[in-house]
């Protein structure tokens, strides 16, 4: 367990993390990134600074940090993040609740303009069949994000899989492991069953497996992080593991830093240098 004193000092925590590192460690097949929703109360300049402090280039951008309009400003802002050293791995979460071609096309144009390969999405079941045409046209992976028991469309990744298993292979899941756990579904088994249709992972931890409000820093709760990493490696997962830290939104960095240190420590224990 990481002490409160270390959490209050990111530099000390990263120094502690270095204890687990070794020149003999292999490069990690797990890429740790950030879902920018974590920093939704902060502007793009702060986001860039936080990412540099975390020493990760992998960024899943929410529209609060990459606005959809005006469309002609999307590419320049995406270029700004890339110039700061980041790889833009996904965009979203983006809602698709209207059976309206103009609305759907505008959102695909947004992701295309940003040059981002994966759209993390929340479609309604009614709109989902129409979306397949756009996935094929734009060649963008469409990762449906599950949102737990409150989600009337896709509470669990297994609900996503049942809906998309016969659709274009570019339609799959962004598995939120916290929301998955809250449905009573084992996140490890969900990852294994969804397999090649897992396009993104949103990582979080819970102190009580069915309680949304029990979110804690990764490593302080019940989430089987090592087993999740091992399963992702076993299925040859090619995407990212994006921390989506939804609590303490006015001051998220202490929990974010603790979460990264824990995940990097787990990977080091598995023989990998993140």
Q: What is the pLDDT of residue 274?
A: 82
Q: What is the pLDDT of residue 187?
A: 98
All domains of the chain in start order, with CATH: 28-273 (3.20.20.150)
Its pTM stands at 0.90
Yes or no: say if 199 and 172 are a contact pair by the CB < 8 Å rule.
yes
Q: What is the pLDDT of residue 1?
A: 40
Q: What is the pLDDT of residue 18?
A: 53
Q: What is the pLDDT of residue 117?
A: 98
Q: What is the pLDDT of residue 52?
A: 98
Yes or no: say if 140 and 117 are a contact pair by the CB < 8 Å rule.
yes
Structure tokens at 170: 């570019």
Rounded Cα distance between 253 and 118, Å, is 26
Residue 190, SS3?
A: helix
Q: What is the pLDDT of residue 17?
A: 52
Phi, psi of 134 (to 5 degrees): -75, -35
Cα angle, residue 118 at apex, residues 113 and 124 outer, rounded to 5°? 100
Q: What is the pLDDT of residue 12?
A: 47
Q: Measured between alpha carbons, how far is residue 169 from residues 88, 102, 143, 199 in Å?
A: 21, 24, 11, 11
Residues 6+ apart with CB under 8 A from 1: 219, 220
pLDDT along the chain (274 residues), means of 10: 44 49 80 98 98 98 98 98 98 97 98 98 97 98 98 98 98 98 98 98 98 98 98 97 98 98 98 92
For residue 238, give the DSSP letter.
Answer: -
Q: What is the pLDDT of residue 20?
A: 47
Nearest one of 7, 13, 29 to 272, comparing CA atoms: 29
């Amino acid at each position: 367990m990481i002490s409160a004193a270390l959490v209050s000092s990111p530099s000390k925590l990263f120094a502690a993390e270095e204890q687990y590192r070794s020149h003999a460690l292999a490069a990690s097949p797990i890429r740790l990134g950030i879902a920018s929703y974590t920093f939704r109360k902060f502007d793009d300049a702060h986001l860039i600074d936080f990412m540099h402090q975390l020493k990760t280039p992998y960024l899943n951008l929410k529209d609060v940090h990459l606005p959809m309009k005006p469309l002609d400003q999307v590419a320049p802002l995406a270029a700004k993040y890339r110039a700061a050293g980041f790889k833009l791995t996904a965009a979203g979460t983006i809602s698709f609740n209207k059976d309206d071609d103009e609305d759907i096309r505008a959102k695909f144009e947004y992701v295309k303009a940003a040059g981002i390969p994966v759209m993390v999405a929340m479609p309604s079941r009614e709109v989902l069949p129409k979306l397949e045409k756009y996935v094929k046209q734009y060649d963008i992976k469409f990762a449906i994000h599950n949102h737990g028991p409150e989600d009337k469309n896709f509470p669990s990744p297994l609900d996503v899989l049942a809906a998309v298993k016969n659709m274009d292979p570019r339609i799959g899941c962004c598995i939120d492991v916290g929301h998955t756990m809250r449905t009573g579904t084992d996140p490890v088994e969900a990852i294994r069953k969804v397999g090649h249709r897992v396009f993104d992972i949103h990582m979080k931890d819970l102190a009580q497996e069915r309680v949304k409000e029990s979110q804690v820093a990764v490593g302080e709760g019940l989430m089987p992080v090592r087993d999740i990493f091992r399963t992702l490696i076993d299925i040859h997962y090619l995407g990212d593991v994006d921390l989506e830290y939804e609590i303490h939104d006015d001051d998220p960095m202490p929990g974010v830093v603790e979460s990264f240190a824990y995940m990097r420590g787990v990977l080091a224990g598995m023989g990998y240098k993140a």
